[in-house]
C-alpha cells in the first residue's frame, strides 16, 4: 500500500487506478497547463503546441503516455460524496462546522513540483514570470492525486490501514451527524414534508366544515327567497 510522507497508509496500492481526469485537461481534450503557463516549462509547452495542445494521454497524437508519464499531471477532487462509504456531504450555510467529507491525498507532488505550482500561482496573481527553478518544470513530475473521504473513513484509512475499495457503509455516528444537519437544513428552509402537511383526520374535518358551510349558505338562500315572496304578497 502507498504511504504518506508520515508513513501512514493512503488506502490504495496504485493511486493512478483511482484517477478520473487531470485537472489541466479541458473538455476539448487539450492541455490547459501548456496553454496558460508555457513560461514554467517551455519545452513541454512547445511539444504540446506541435500537437495543437492535445493531451497525449487522451488523444491519438504525441507520445504514448499514461497519466503517470506527464510531468504536470495533477488530479484533485471537489467531490461531495465519500469514495469509500458513499456518505453525502451536507454543509450548513454560514457555519464553520467541520465538513463531513474531506480531501484525502493518495499521492503528493514532490518538492520541485510544489515550487512550480507555487510559482504558477504567484505569477498568475502578480502577472510576473518566474525564470527560476520552476521555469524548467521543477525537474520532477507533479503527481498530486486526491479523492473525497468522509472524516470517519479518512481516520480509518490513516489509523487502521483501511482501503478505499473496502465494501463499506457509513458508520452509525456519521449517519447521525448527517441526519442532524439534514434536519437543521429543513428547519432553516422552513420546509415540511408532504406527509407532515397532510393529515387525513384534519382533511376530513375540513371537508365536513365546508359541507356544513355550504348547507348553511343554502338555508340562508332559501330564507331570502321566502322573505322576498312574502314581501311580494304584502305588496299585492
Per-10-residue mean pLDDT of the chain, 236 residues long, equals 77 91 95 95 95 93 90 92 94 80 90 47 40 35 84 92 94 94 81 58 59 62 58 53
Pairing verdict, β 144-150 and 101-107: antiparallel
The predicted structure's pLDDT at residue 141: 36
The predicted structure's pLDDT at residue 184: 85
Cα distances (angstroms) measured from residue 8 to each of 100, 104, 106: 21, 12, 11
The predicted structure's pLDDT at residue 196: 60
Closest CA to 142 of 37, 51, 50, 49: 37
The predicted structure's pLDDT at residue 95: 72
What gap in Å lies between CA 163 and CA 149, rounded to an integer? 11
What gap in Å lies between CA 195 and CA 166, rounded to an integer? 37
Asked if 115 and 130 count as a contact pair (C-beta separation under 8 A), the reply is no
pTM, rounded to two decimals: 0.64
What gap in Å lies between CA 154 and CA 100, rounded to an integer? 10
The predicted structure's pLDDT at residue 124: 37
- Burial code (b: 16+ CB inside 10 Å, e: under 16) for 196-218 equals eeeeeeeeeeeeeeeeeeeeeee
Q: What are phi and psi of 81, to 5 degrees?
A: -135, 135
Amino acid at each position: 500500500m502507498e504511504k504518506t510522507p508520515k508513513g501512514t497508509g493512503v488506502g490504495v496500492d496504485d493511486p493512478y487506478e483511482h484517477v478520473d481526469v487531470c485537472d489541466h485537461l479541458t473538455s476539448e481534450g487539450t492541455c490547459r497547463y501548456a496553454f496558460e503557463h508555457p513560461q514554467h516549462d517551455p519545452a513541454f509547452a512547445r511539444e504540446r503546441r506541435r500537437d495543437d495542445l492535445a493531451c497525449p494521454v487522451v488523444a491519438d497524437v504525441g507520445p504514448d503516455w499514461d497519466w503517470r508519464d506527464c510531468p504536470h499531471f495533477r488530479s484533485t477532487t471537489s467531490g461531495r460524496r465519500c469514495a469509500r462509504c458513499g456518505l453525502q456531504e451536507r454543509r450548513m450555510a454560514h457555519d464553520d462546522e467541520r465538513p463531513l467529507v474531506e480531501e484525502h491525498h493518495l499521492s503528493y507532488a514532490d518538492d520541485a513540483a510544489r515550487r512550480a505550482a507555487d510559482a504558477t500561482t504567484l505569477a498568475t496573481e502578480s502577472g510576473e514570470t518566474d525564470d527560476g527553478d520552476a521555469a524548467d518544470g521543477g525537474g520532477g513530475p507533479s503527481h498530486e492525486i486526491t479523492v473525497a473521504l468522509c472524516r470517519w473513513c479518512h481516520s480509518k484509512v490513516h489509523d487502521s490501514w483501511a482501503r478505499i475499495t473496502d465494501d463499506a457503509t457509513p458508520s452509525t455516528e456519521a449517519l447521525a451527524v448527517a441526519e442532524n444537519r439534514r434536519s437543521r437544513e429543513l428547519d432553516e428552509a422552513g420546509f415540511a414534508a408532504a406527509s407532515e402537511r397532510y393529515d387525513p383526520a384534519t382533511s376530513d374535518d375540513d371537508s365536513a366544515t365546508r359541507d356544513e358551510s355550504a348547507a348553511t349558505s343554502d338555508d340562508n338562500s332559501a330564507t331570502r327567497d321566502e322573505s322576498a315572496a312574502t314581501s311580494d304578497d304584502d305588496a299585492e
